[in-house]
Amino acid sequence: MKNILKYTACALALSAAFSCSKLNETPVFSAEDSFVAFDKGSMIVNENVGKISLPVSVASIDPVGVTVAYEVVDGTASAGTNFKLVNEAATVVFDGQARSNVIEIDIVDLAGEFTGDLTFSVNLVSAGDLNIGHNSTCTVTIADLDHPLSDVLGTYTVSGESYFNGPATWEAEFTKDANDLTKVWMRGLAPGFTMATDLIYGVVSEDHNTITIPLGQMLPYSSTYNAYFYAFDGSYIYDETDMASITLTREGAGKPFVAVDYGWSFYAVYVTSGEGAGNFDIIVSGVTFTKN
């Protein structure tokens, strides 16, 4: 009886060990797991880019020959008006040698016509015996270059005097708002302090020569800080209740923007809470933004 129990115990132990070894085995990618998918789920291109290529790849143990069918779905961009398929059959062929191929699309440049950014999607719909992977859709955004504020948008070389560090030169960027054609988002209004690289908006005048920047904007820098765009006179921090805004002005298109000199104020990025409370970065009014 003891021997039977002993052998039974050994068998159970071996069974358990075998089961554990099965659990610890590395999963094996099989031919049945093979799939085709886009390399990227989205792409942004300028309207004057011409032909674009959307990379598509086959994931398999060995290269596989397969014809993949796809479809285009209009969004705010329309087939025939804003883009055209290079291959009207809407298929991409893998020859069994290479794992990667591309879907080619011609982007139509509507130069001089402002449409706003437009989007469309390309969906993989069939791949023979292969699976369609998770990344089965690529959304393309066509960036409009004819924005009404195109003379304002872009990168700038900025020069001014830091309250703490003296003369300084740095880079700034003005970008468009997705919905408001009178608004620009400005990155890099002040140097040195990391939070100054976050976005602050300004409203552009009808003649494009004045940008009004409301005070009291909170910068979306970090969940551990509350950083605001304020004004400063050397001893007092002015928020939106004391002073509504500061302005950048220029003498005409192509001329530099200059921060209006109020004779007493600086503009500042000021931290009101969190780890860096009380810290700020300050630039003397009169700072110059020269478009690159």
pLDDT in tens, 62-119: 888 999 999 999 999 999 999 999 999 999 999 999 999 999 999 999 888 899 899 9
CA distances from 160 to 227, 235, 243, 266, 286 (A): 21, 20, 22, 11, 7
Q: Residue 34 — pLDDT band, cuts 50, 70, 90?
A: very high
Q: Which of the listed CATH numbers 2.60.40.2030, 3.40.640.10, 1.10.220.10, 3.40.50.300 matches domain 31-143?
A: 2.60.40.2030
139 or 220, greater pLDDT? 139
Q: Which two tokens stand for residue 176?
A: 């468009």
Tell me the pLDDT of the chain averaged across its residues: 82
Q: How far apart are CA 206 and CA 181, in angstroms?
A: 11
Q: How far apart are CA 201 and CA 185, in angstroms?
A: 4
Q: Residue 179 — pLDDT band, cuts 50, 70, 90?
A: confident
Statement: residue 124 has pLDDT above 80 = yes
Task: Report the pLDDT value the prediction gives residue 6, as an integer from 0 to 100.
Answer: 37
Mean pLDDT computed over 30-34: 79
Q: Are strands 166-176 and 288-291 parallel, antiparallel or unpaired?
A: unpaired
- Whether residue 63 contacts residue 98, with contact meaning beta carbons closer than 8 Å, is answered with yes
Q: Which of 184, 118, 117, 115 is nearest to 149 (CA)?
A: 184
Task: Report the pLDDT value the prediction gives residue 58, as an integer from 0 to 100.
Answer: 95
Task: Report the pLDDT value the prediction gives residue 268, as an integer from 0 to 100.
Answer: 67
Q: Residues spanned by CATH 2.60.40.2030 within the chain?
A: 31-143
Q: Residues spanned by CATH 2.40.128 within the chain?
A: 154-291
Task: Report the pLDDT value the prediction gives residue 160, as an integer from 0 to 100.
Answer: 83
110 or 261, greater pLDDT? 110
Task: Report the pLDDT value the prediction gives residue 198, as an integer from 0 to 100.
Answer: 64
Q: Residue 235 — pLDDT band, cuts 50, 70, 90?
A: confident
Task: Report the pLDDT value the prediction gives residue 63, as an integer from 0 to 100.
Answer: 84
Statement: residue 259 has pLDDT above 90 = no
Task: Report the pLDDT value the prediction gives residue 123, as an integer from 0 to 100.
Answer: 98
In degrees, to the nearest 5, what angle opens at C-alpha 159 toward C-alphas 280 and 154?
Answer: 95
Class of domain 154-291: mainly beta
Q: Residue 28 — pLDDT band, cuts 50, 70, 90?
A: low
Q: How far apart are CA 226 and CA 283, in angstroms?
A: 19
Q: Which two tokens stand for residue 103?
A: 């879907």
Over the stretch 46-64, which tens digit does the pLDDT of each residue have? Answer: 999 999 999 999 999 888 8
